[in-house]
């Protein structure tokens, strides 16, 4: 045995002792988790972790290793937190097969043919553009005034699917649609991301200096905020839809009125493009969801959407989110919405990667459901973002 082998043998012995001590530490970590749950204490205690690092630095003989030791303990305590969270989150016996996820999975339907689709707004709306891109130009369709009207059309079986905006890359989620999804209990069966390019439209012959009133959807106004700051004399009027704003300007035939809408809306309503591409983010996209009454899953489905709430106690949300990491679930989006009758409590809308035909994923989601106060699977569909 040469000198290197001697050194490695000694390292192996040290590693063996480290492993024994690691196992012993984790058993104590679990005891701490049980105490914290019993006494309603949070898993993360920053002052305690800082004290552990500070104290152990004093034991070092060679101060050159201080930074490395700090990193070691930070990682060790992160592992400890994950184990604590998993222990708290999944400690009770549970029959996953009784989960709503399994019940719903057993009632998956095939995608429909010879369909009719509903969108919110008027012809020329970005919702109609998303519909055309997803279903095709010749798809029979109808349009309604409000987001909830789309859900009502689907509920009454007047249409087979609905299409609605759910999120914008510049301004975030569309809260009303999130709330309606939970209220009506329908499923997301697909999605489409549409590039949104806003333009200032007026009647033929109008110029920028003529404009006094600007109409558009609140998010379009927000996404064009930098451009709108260029004149303090403009009065801004939130309206139901960008295309409806264009229609309003056309029908009013007033030179001082303008709308923020798409080029297609300008063509449809024979309006002048006074200023083009006025949104501050040139990579501005809106994600639209396709909703149906039934869950539809195929081999290409790779995004799962759920809505859940957790107990209103310290560490509950941390435990839930940590569960995603523990089960290698790649979270893509999380958005909170207040629970109306419970102050400072929230529903969490979460998107993550996966296909429910995977048994391990179904088990993981069933465990997540078990530890939630409220849980609903919103859909499993092919991602387009």
Catalytic residue ranges: 286, 288
Give the distance from CA 96 to its chain's centroid.
Answer: 25
Beta strands in 196-338 (DSSP E): 199-202, 213-216, 235-238, 257-261, 272-275, 285-292, 303-309, 331-338
Beta-bridge mates of residue 116: none
Rounded Cα distance between 43 and 80, Å, is 10
Rounded Cα distance between 360 and 112, Å, is 28
Dihedral over alpha carbons 376, 378, 379, 382 (to 10 degrees): -130
Rounded Cα distance between 63 and 76, Å, is 20
Rounded Cα distance between 268 and 255, Å, is 18
CB contact set of 228 (below 8 Å; sequence gap of 6+): 214, 221, 234, 236
DSSP per residue, 123-137: TT-HHHHHHHHHH-T
Q: State the pairing for strand pair 285-292/161-168.
A: antiparallel
């Amino acid at each position: 045995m040469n000198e290197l082998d001697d050194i490695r043998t000694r390292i192996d012995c040290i590693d063996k002792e480290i492993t024994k001590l690691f196992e012993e530490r984790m058993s104590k970590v679990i005891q701490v988790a049980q105490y914290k749950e019993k006494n309603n204490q949070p898993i993360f205690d920053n002052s305690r972790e800082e004290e552990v690092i500070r104290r152990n630095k004093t034991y070092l003989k060679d101060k050159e290793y201080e930074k490395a030791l700090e990193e070691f303990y930070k990682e060790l305590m992160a592992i400890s937190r994950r184990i604590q969270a998993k222990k708290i989150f999944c400690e009770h016996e549970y029959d996953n097969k009784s989960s709503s996820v399994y019940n719903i999975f057993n009632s998956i339907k095939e995608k429909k043919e010879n369909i009719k689709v509903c969108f919110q707004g008027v012809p020329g709306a970005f919702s109609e553009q998303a519909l055309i891109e997803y279903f095709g130009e010749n798809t029979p369709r109808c349009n309604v005034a409000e987001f909830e009207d789309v859900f009502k059309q689907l509920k009454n079986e007047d249409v087979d699917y609905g299409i609605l905006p759910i999120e914008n890359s510049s301004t975030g989620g569309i809260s009303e649609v999130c709330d309606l999804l939970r209220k009506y209990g329908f499923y997301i069966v697909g999605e489409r991301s549409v590039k949104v390019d806003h333009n200032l439209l007026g009647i033929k012959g109008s110029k920028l200096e003529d404009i006094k009133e600007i109409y558009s959807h609140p998010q379009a106004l927000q996404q064009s905020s930098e451009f709108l700051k260029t004149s303090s004399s403009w009065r801004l009027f939130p309206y139901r839809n960008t295309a409806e704003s264009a229609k309003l300007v056309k029908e009013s035939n007033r030179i001082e009125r303008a709308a923020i809408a798409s080029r297609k809306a300008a063509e449809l309503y024979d309006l002048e493009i006074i200023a083009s591409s006025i949104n501050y983010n040139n990579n501005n996209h809106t994600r639209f969801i396709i909703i149906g009454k039934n869950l539809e899953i195929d081999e290409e489905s790779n995004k799962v959407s759920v809505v859940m709430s957790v107990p209103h106690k310290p560490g509950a949300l941390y435990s839930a989110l940590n569960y995603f990491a523990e089960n290698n679930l790649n979270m893509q989006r999380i958005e909170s919405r207040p629970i109306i009758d419970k102050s400072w409590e929230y529903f969490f809308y979460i998107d993550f990667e996966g296909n429910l035909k995977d048994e391990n994923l179904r088990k993981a989601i069933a465990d997540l459901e078990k530890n939630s106060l409220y849980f609903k699977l919103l859909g499993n569909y092919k991602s387009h973002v």
